[in-house]
Amino acid sequence: MRSEPLAWAPVSAQAASLLEEAADLLVLHRDFAAAVERCEAGCDSLGPGTGPGPESSADVKCSLCVVGIQALAEMNRWREVLSWVLQYYHVPEHLPPKVLELCILLYSKVREPQVMLEVGSSWLRDQTNKSLPEYGALSEKILTMLTLLRRALRSMSSQFYLLPYKKMLLATFLLYLVVVRLDPASPTSLPFIYKLVQLFRQAWAAVFSPIHRRPIQD
């Protein structure tokens, strides 16, 4: 005797229907705001649970978030993506691999990969995630992201040291004007800037000390 396929729970069926509407709005109608609204309604209908839950519900919730991420990106609201996703999964460790991968790709594309560093590291440290088949591929993506960040930092450092001395002095002087002249109380609350100002004062004193001044002509 063949067993009939199990019917989805009413809540999952409602979320699946909203997912279908959201996908149509995203792809066919390109109504991205409405697509996000359907995704939010679908995720809300599945409840706030953070546990594994039924497989069908977890898949629908993951798909809703994938469509929502794409819709937010189309509206150039990519800065909201991570916080938007975490309101439904609450902690990075509970993010599905597909959602985490899409977030990594998105923030890397807009040249803000550092946003995902802490999230990715938390996800990789979770013992449950280590047993997932996608763990290896995601760890490689996060390591690649770290490598790109290191290169960017090295490039910034080399650019910094290549600046001519006069430009450095001028930049420090402008910082001195902003911090000391406009807000005399700031240096005490900003130790790094305060030290920079002290270095400027020393450089200024060295350049304009009596030894470097021209003698007064009679």
Going residue by residue through the chain (218 aa), what tens digit of pLDDT does each one get? 444 444 455 668 899 999 999 999 999 999 999 999 999 999 999 976 544 455 688 999 999 999 999 999 999 999 999 999 999 999 999 999 999 999 999 998 888 888 888 899 899 999 999 999 999 999 998 888 777 666 655 655 555 555 565 555 566 655 555 555 444 444 444 555 555 556 556 655 555 555 444 554 54
Q: Would you state the pLDDT for residue 162? A: 52
Task: Tell me the domains of the chain and their CATH numbers.
Answer: 10-160 (1.25.40), 163-207 (no CATH)
Q: How far apart are CA 158 and CA 138, in angstroms?
A: 31
Q: What is the largest CA-CA distance in the chain?
A: 118
Q: Would you state the pLDDT for residue 90? A: 94
85 contacts 95 by C-beta, under 8 angstroms: yes
- Spacing of C-alpha 184 from chain mean position: 34
Q: Would you state the pLDDT for residue 150? A: 66
61 contacts 46 by C-beta, under 8 angstroms: yes
State both tokens at 141: 């993506």
Give pTM, 2 decimals: 0.65
Q: Would you state the pLDDT for residue 156? A: 55
Q: Would you state the pLDDT for residue 5? A: 41
Q: Would you state the pLDDT for residue 6? A: 44
Q: What long-range pairs does 42-47 form, CB within 8 A, spacing at least 24? A: 42/14, 42/15, 42/16, 42/18, 43/15, 43/68, 43/88, 45/11, 45/14, 45/15, 45/18, 46/11, 46/12, 46/15, 47/11
